[in-house]
Amino acid sequence: MPSVGVKLYSVFFKFLLKHRLQNRIQSSGDESSSDPFGVTTRPEESVAAPNPLFTDGVATKDIHIDPLTSLSVRIFLPESALTPLEPSTSAAGVHSESRRNSYGCTTTGSSSPEAGSSSDVTGDVYRGYSPSSSGGNSRKLPVMLQFHGGGWVSGSNDSVANDFFCRRMAKHCDIIVLAVGYRLAPENRYPAAYEDGFKVLKWLGKQANLAECNKSMGNSRRTGGEVKKSEVNKHIVDAFGASLVEPWLATHADPSRCVLLGVSCGANIADYVARKAIEVGQNLDPVKVVAQVLMYPFFIGSVPTQSEIKQANSYFYDKAMCILAWKLFLSEEEFSLDHPAANPLVPGRGPPLKFMPPTLTIVAEHDWMRDRAIAYSEELRKVNVDAPVLEYKDAVHEFATLDMLLRTPQAQACAEDIAIWVKKYISLRGHEFSY
């Protein structure tokens, strides 16, 4: 059973959540509450500021990627990305170290700013990490799109809890994490959050193609003879002269090894994005979704499962409050517990399951939604998709991502378990991990 502290916190959490959901329902009837631009966080949310320095092994930055909406991403870049791919001779006075990375390559790192460390300048000049112009010694890391939880109406990609979790994932998996700040309900109901998730995947592909174009432009200038000084720093820009190429991703991201990870309702978004990626196929090139992780997905249905009957009043998120959240997310005309966004087992839901990527499902013993998540995983295994289920005893919904539970041994173990499984699909050939 969960500890007394968890039980007490659950009572307080449910009281506060119910109050907020009821307020949202009352305000959702007002036409002014609908806002196409949308919101990605709430005033009551504790937010962590981005930090472009590798103070704890991960640098972060926020990017607003859609001028018409509030859709944004927070990039989590692990310091391991700065380790050169090939050993090189260190310049005099520059410390160099050799270490083995998680992809099996022995690499050499340098503490010089030119090798990728944060610029040591003073004044008003940007002091965060900025990749070197050559980028020749940079490592390419896989990319993880992370979708936070919060029952559609709360949570954010830059909350203190989500920031901590994404930093943990970036370091454990040796991966670049893009935490998606999708639009919240009821200001933006279904399918806004789902479309935002897929829009970020397409944006990742666009970034990869723009980076390749930028690289080609640089090569053509170098091979075309004398290069004018004014052309050295030319790059692709938009109509306002701002660079369209995100330098961290252009230098370090390998979108051909892309993983989706969703937490609670974010798992529903991840599953939708995986399906859309299958539908569009090669139009996403060079992005390839190689695996997805569904952490205690927010699945529901009109025919209750055993866990929905026995644990309807479970910890933190009980069934009654989750139904309120679904009423805020789905329009009144569309509301149904068997809506394709809610129930993964309804027929005719999308591409055949046999085309789905390998899917790891995380469930908690004291979570009323667990049985439907397990049933979905079983359906995937029936069509030979690698779809293991990890069930954690005495655990509750969001046991590895909720603010007060993030530092528990169980949350740490869950992160390590995810990293072990994910590395099977993101490691370079010849260095796969067993699971």
Q: Which two tokens stand for residue 289?
A: 């979704």
Give CA angle at 269 (413, 261), nearest 5°.
25
Give how far the C-alpha of residue 277 lies from the chain's centroid of Cα atoms, to the nearest Å.
Answer: 15
Q: Model confidence over 360-389: pLDDT tens digits? A: 999 999 999 999 999 999 999 999 999 999
Residue 165, classified by CB atoms within 10 Å of its CB into exposed (0-12), middle (13-18) or buried (19+), is buried
138: confidence class by pLDDT, cuts 50, 70, 90? confident
Q: Tokens 């859709």 appear where?
A: 71
Catalytic residues, by residue number, are 264, 367, 397
Inter-residue contact 244 to 238 (CB < 8 Å): yes
- What pLDDT, on the 0 to 100 scale, is given for residue 388? 98
What's the rounded Cα separation, in Å, for the pair 91 and 96? 9
* Distance set, CA 93 to CA 83, 110, 175, 242 (Å): 18, 11, 30, 37
Helix (H) or strand (E) holding 395: strand 389-396
pTM of the model: 0.85
Q: Answer yes or no: is pLDDT of 286 > 70.
A: yes
Q: Which two tokens stand for residue 350?
A: 């999308």
What's the rounded Cα separation, in Å, for the pair 71 and 37? 8
Inter-residue contact 245 to 131 (CB < 8 Å): no
* Distance set, CA 382 to CA 34, 353, 358 (Å): 42, 9, 13
Q: Which two tokens stand for residue 415?
A: 């992160």
Q: Answer yes or no: is pLDDT of 247 > 50.
A: yes
- What pLDDT, on the 0 to 100 scale, is given for residue 417? 98
100: confidence class by pLDDT, cuts 50, 70, 90? very low
User: How high is the mean pLDDT of the chain?
Assistant: 84
217: confidence class by pLDDT, cuts 50, 70, 90? low
Q: Model confidence over 144-200: pLDDT tens digits? A: 999 999 999 999 999 999 999 999 999 999 999 999 999 999 999 999 999 999 999
Number of residues written out for the chain? 435
Q: Which two tokens stand for residue 294?
A: 């569904």
For residue 361, list its beta bridge partners. 294, 389
Q: Answer yes or no: is pLDDT of 121 > 50.
A: no
